[in-house]
Amino acid sequence: MRWTSQQLNQPLFAQQPAPDTPAVPLLPLAGLVKSVQTPEFAGITFHEVLAKSALNKVPPSSTMPFEWTVNPYRGCSHACVYCFARKSHTYLDFDSGVDFDSQVVVKVNVAQVLRKELLKPSWQRHHVALGTNTDPYQRAEGRYRLMPGIIAALADSGTPFSILTKGTLLARDIGLLRTAGESVSVGMGISLALVDEGLAQAIEPGTPSPKARLALISKLREANLPCGVMAMPILPWLTDSEEALDALFGALAHAGATGVSAGALYLRPGTREWFMQWLAREHPSLVGRYQRLYGPGAYASKEYRQWLSVRVNEAKSRHGFTSEGFIHDARREEAQYPAGSMPTTVTPGTGSTTGTGIRRIPLHGGSLRKKAGTPVGTPASSSLAPTLF
């Protein structure tokens, strides 16, 4: 079915206009071109907009290890009940629950606008991060194909960049990423915090399965690309057992992840309400425990985080990962990104690295170099290559 034939001709919110009332925009979104629905994405509305800018400046107060981001989408069909970005949807007059999952804003011209911004004489070729708010490889990317143009624009301008995603659509662009790696440093990160397929389907229903993401990690490593893993969030009483963590880090090591950072569930406003509703439906016996553990705040108690840090580091050590990278407080430790997930900058003439302190992995030819954070004795395996979707 033709995508362009799916334009909505009625307001999204049922209203009965008075006779002879002039037509009004579907939503007060800046640059709105049209809103579309299609049976392929049942229950989701895409709002196609023309963006005036693509680069977003990170506030100076942030501890993020980058200064600029690009977000081709707002809202996310992954529908992760714990997603920290839910609150940002309210800035568009959507709610942080159902709307975040089903009302997706698409910046259809983002690659063209980005290219113009990167060509400005004032651009200093700072690291640009993708996937910091909503996922650039969510399912709609298969239709809109915004990322190839973004990758090309960044590489052509000499701008180092990183991508963090749960989307196996990334596999489509591995060739482009290898080519980009010839001229700029590229960081790759996969978000994966559990390997229980049933729980994953319940808590992040729109994402590729853990098995598919593990296969993607192997595929990236086979392509000689780095791949760090953000094992967040670890869920109290659901994914924090010794058995669950051992299974997770064992699978990540076998897949060839270059490093792992982990942290407990973070329940900021907007996320907290949605997650607790889910918990009450699916695990009502845990509601009281979570209320006591988190109190009125966004963080689990300090005692719990210290306990979890020890358990995580023990599991990581058993599987060849360094014990660094547990995030106790996202407000102060956001810079603890895993090895391979951030681009590296080599100081000309010195061979030393800056930024992440991780040596760049060769992208073409040669063997994979052993480096800090690389699992011991766990090269990417060609046997771990089921079909990606």
SS3 content of the chain, % helix, strand, coil (to 5): 35, 15, 50
Residue closest to 319 by CA, chosen among 260, 382, 235: 260
pLDDT for residue 138 is more than 70:
yes
* Mean pLDDT (the chain, rounded): 82
Element of type H or E holding 99: helix 98-102
Give Cβ neighbours of residue 58 (< 8 Å, ≥ 6 apart).
64, 66, 67, 68, 69
Gap between the Cα atoms of 226 and 186, Å rounded: 8
Split at pLDDT 50, 70, 90, the class of 63 is confident
Question: Is-above-0.75 flag for pTM?
Answer: yes
Structure tokens at 94: 């959507």
Contact 59, 49 (CB under 8 A): no
Give Cβ neighbours of residue 96 (< 8 Å, ≥ 6 apart).
86, 87, 89, 90, 270, 271, 273, 274
Neighbour-count burial of 182, counting CB atoms closer than 10 A to its CB (0-12 exposed, 13-18 middle, 19+ buried):
exposed
pLDDT digits (tens, 9 = 90+) for 10-46: 333 333 334 444 433 345 677 889 999 999 999 999 9
pLDDT for residue 65 is more than 90:
no
pLDDT digits (tens, 9 = 90+) for 232-265: 999 999 999 999 999 999 999 999 999 999 999 9
Contact 326, 309 (CB under 8 A): yes
What pLDDT sits at residue 330? Answer: 61
Dihedral angle, C-alpha 370, 376, 379, 383, nearest 10 °: -170
pLDDT digits (tens, 9 = 90+) for 314-358: 999 999 998 777 777 765 544 477 888 888 753 333 333 333 333
pLDDT digits (tens, 9 = 90+) for 72-82: 999 999 999 99
